[in-house]
């Protein structure tokens, strides 16, 4: 069986298809990958096109239909001040999309991969300093560290945002939630790099002893070329799997921070503050439409990211095939 798999790979490569092309072909043939991609595409595309999809503005109120259940005018009902739940849910997906991808790209990928490459390749003192700093972050529970950072940074970022508004004459940045975005982004990005750096470091420690790396070094290749041309591409499969699962964790962390009241603040919609507004037992009994939609969306979102990570692991991990 293994011989047949290797033969197929060689045949595909001779036909001009790369190993990444083979992996993509395998991925789209797995039902769970297609389900995950479909769910994520549906959820995040609704956030991207929120202005076109949402039937109402997220601050638009209908005071004659407060706490109204699902109807033809409001498909998922209205909240405690008459705002359309479906519209707020769609705009909340946009907030989650922006914060999740910005945090992962800057934290896990940019900072984590770079520090992991440097630590694994140089070793010794450089490795020790980077890993010890990472262990300091890991010494605190992740959610508690994010809460501490968000609570500490928020007043300062609010003051800076207001000062920027006064200096430039640009108004509305605080009202649109820019300070909240920056606070959550900073907290998530600061915490999310450690795991990725340790993963990449472990891969580099193994790969840097390979013959092709030694050959590149003997031929005079620069350190940057060895790191980003020879080592990084070969370390990418576990990085991709980890990043896909990490996106689900980051999305959940953003919801948790908003639910605790230190994330995205009303009136800007967030899945977390929508859950917080409808979490009281009386609300759940009398108006379940206030809490069930955001809870279901959070569950589907995290499930889809984990399902995609599992499918990528099946495709990219040789031991899982």
Could you read off the pLDDT of 204-236 as tens digits, one per residue? Answer: 988 888 888 888 888 888 888 888 888 888 888
pLDDT value of residue 214: 86
pLDDT value of residue 140: 77
- Is there a domain that residue 221 lies in? yes
- Is there a domain that residue 31 lies in? no
Nearest to 67 by CA among 54, 75, 77: 77
Cα–Cα distance measured from residue 47 to residue 53, given in angstroms and rounded to the nearest whole number: 9
Q: Is the pLDDT of residue 36 over 60?
A: yes
Q: Where residue 287 sits, what CATH number does that domain have?
A: 1.10.3720.10
Cα–Cα distance measured from residue 298 to residue 87, given in angstroms and rounded to the nearest whole number: 16
Q: Other C-beta atoms within 10 Å of 306: how many?
A: 16
Domain tally, the chain: 1
- Is there a domain that residue 16 lies in? no
- Is there a domain that residue 4 lies in? no
Q: Is this prediction's pTM over 0.75?
A: yes
Host domain of residue 236: 37-320
Cα–Cα distance measured from residue 107 to residue 219, given in angstroms and rounded to the nearest whole number: 34
- Is there a domain that residue 1 lies in? no
- Is there a domain that residue 301 lies in? yes
Cα–Cα distance measured from residue 19 to residue 9, given in angstroms and rounded to the nearest whole number: 8
Q: Is the pLDDT of residue 321 over 60?
A: no
Q: Is the pLDDT of residue 268 over 90?
A: no
Q: Which of 35-49, 169-183, 254-268 has the lowest mean pLDDT?
A: 169-183
């Amino acid at each position: 069986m293994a011989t047949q798999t290797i033969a197929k790979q060689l045949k595909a490569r001779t036909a001009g298809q790369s190993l990444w092309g083979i992996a993509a072909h395998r991925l789209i043939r797995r039902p769970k990958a297609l389900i995950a991609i479909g769910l994520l595409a549906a959820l995040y595309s609704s956030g991207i096109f929120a202005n076109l999809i949402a039937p109402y503005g997220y601050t638009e109120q209908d005071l004659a239909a407060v706490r109204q259940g699902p109807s033809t005018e409001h498909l998922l009902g209205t909240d405690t001040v008459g705002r359309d739940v479906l519209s707020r849910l769609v705009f909340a997906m946009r907030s989650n999309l922006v914060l999740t991808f910005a945090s992962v790209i800057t934290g896990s990928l940019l900072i984590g991969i770079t520090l992991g490459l440097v630590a694994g390749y140089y070793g010794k003192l450089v490795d020790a300093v980077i890993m010890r700093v990472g262990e300091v972050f890991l010494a605190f529970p992740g959610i508690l560290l994010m809460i501490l950072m968000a609570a500490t940074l928020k007043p300062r970022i609010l003051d800076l945002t207001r000062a920027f508004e006064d200096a430039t004459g640009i108004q509305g940045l605080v009202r649109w939630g820019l300070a909240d975005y920056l606070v959550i982004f900073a907290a998530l990005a600061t915490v999310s790099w450690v795991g990725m750096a340790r993963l990449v470091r472990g891969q580099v420690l193994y790969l840097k002893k390979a013959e092709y790396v030694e050959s590149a070094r003997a031929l005079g290749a620069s350190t940057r070329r060895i790191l980003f041309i020879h080592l990084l591409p070969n370390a990418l499969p576990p990085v991709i799997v980890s990043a896909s699962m990490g996106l689900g964790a980051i999305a959940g962390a953003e919801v948790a921070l908003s639910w605790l009241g230190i994330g995205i603040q009303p009136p800007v919609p967030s899945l977390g503050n929508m859950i917080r507004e409808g979490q009281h037992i009386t609300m759940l009994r009398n108006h379940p439409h206030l809490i069930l939609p955001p809870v279901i969306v959070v569950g589907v979102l995290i499930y889809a990211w984990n399902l995609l990570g599992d499918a990528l692991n099946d495709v990219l991990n040789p031991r899982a095939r």
